[in-house]
């Protein structure tokens, strides 16, 4: 079997996103600066992630951006609209990060897993890390029919499908079940990075992922 190096200070999924094909740039106005909509989302992202979604009022965001209520509600008629935009922007970033990793790995699925694990480890070590934004949002919105939960669920379905596509490439027997296990490992890693020592998180996540894939007969995973 092909031997793959364990996570090191190399290219990560977070690095690869900058080169991902079609990676969206922040919306800009005629002056070349971020658009007002993007400025509002950026402020909301900072406040929602640091303080919790329900704890942040529209008034807090309005004050942070330095705009009027009329301007705010012109772009986001409700706070839920803004929450959805905040999560959708994060979802786009993660999709681009995975796409960039797959491109950089040139078809080596285990290398993609290494890069993603390294990216999660790096993010969990960054100042202000508060866990997975999607898990955090789901914890605050229990109603599965709420627009916020629908965005969370759609993103998690995409993530599982993306993993499933790669597992099929390496001959895993139980694609759906193995993808579920890898998603669970990712969730645990994000929580572990918030609560514990994140220095060894990437290595542990990568080793666990390889073990799961190898158990299911994935080629190149040992």
| Whole-number Å distance between alpha carbons of 62 and 7 | 42
What's the distance, CA 180 to chain centroid?
16
Helix (H) or strand (E) holding 39: helix 36-51
Rounded CA separation 111/206 (Å): 10
Quote the DSSP letter at residue 17: G
Domain interval for residue 118: 13-21+80-215
With 60 as the cut, is the pLDDT of residue 27 above it?
A: no
Query: Looking at residue 22, what is its pLDDT?
Result: 33
Q: pLDDT > 90: what percent of the chain?
A: 62
Helix (H, G, I), strand (E, B) or coil at 183: helix
Total number of domains constituting the chain: 1
d(CA 134, CA 128): 16
Rounded to two decimals, the pTM is: 0.82
Q: Does residue 104 form part of some domain? A: yes
Q: What is the mean pLDDT of residues 159-186?
A: 94
Q: What is the rounded distance in angstroms from the CA atom of residue 60 to the CA atom of residue 75?
A: 16
* pLDDT exceeds cutoff 70 at 17: no
Q: What is the CATH number of the domain that holds 171?
A: 1.10.357.10
The verdict on residue 1 lying in a domain is no
pLDDT interval class at 6 (50, 70, 90): very low
Q: Is residue 3 part of a domain?
A: no
Distance set, CA 139 to CA 54, 142, 220 (Å): 11, 6, 37
Percentage of the residues of the chain whose pLDDT score is greater than 70: 82
- Which tens digit of pLDDT belongs to each residue from 53-107? 999 999 999 999 999 999 999 999 999 999 999 999 999 999 999 999 999 999 8
More confident residue, 120 or 134: 134
């Amino acid at each position: 079997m092909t031997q793959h190096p364990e996570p090191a200070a190399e290219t990560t999924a977070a690095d690869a996103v900058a080169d991902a094909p079609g990676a969206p740039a922040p919306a800009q106005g005629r002056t070349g600066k971020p658009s007002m909509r993007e400025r509002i989302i950026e402020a909301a992202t900072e406040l929602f992630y640091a303080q919790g979604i329900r704890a942040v009022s529209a008034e807090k965001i309005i004050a942070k951006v330095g705009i009027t209520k009329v301007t705010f509600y012109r772009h986001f008629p409700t706070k839920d609209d803004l929450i959805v935009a905040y999560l959708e922007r994060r979802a786009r970033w993660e999709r681009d990060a995975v796409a960039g990793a797959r491109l950089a790995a040139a078809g080596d699925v285990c290398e993609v897993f290494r890069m993603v694990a390294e990216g999660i480890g790096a993010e969990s070590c960054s100042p202000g890390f508060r866990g997975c934004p999607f898990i955090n949002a789901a914890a605050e919105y229990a109603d599965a029919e709420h627009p916020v939960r629908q965005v969370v669920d759609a993103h998690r379905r995409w993530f599982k499908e993306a993993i499933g596509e790669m597992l099929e490439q390496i001959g895993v027997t139980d694609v759906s079940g193995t993808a579920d296990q890898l998603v669970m490992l990712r969730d645990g890693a994000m929580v572990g990075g918030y609560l514990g020592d994140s220095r060894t998180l990437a290595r542990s996540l990568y080793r666990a992922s390889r073990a799961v894939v190898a158990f299911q007969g994935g080629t190149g995973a040992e």
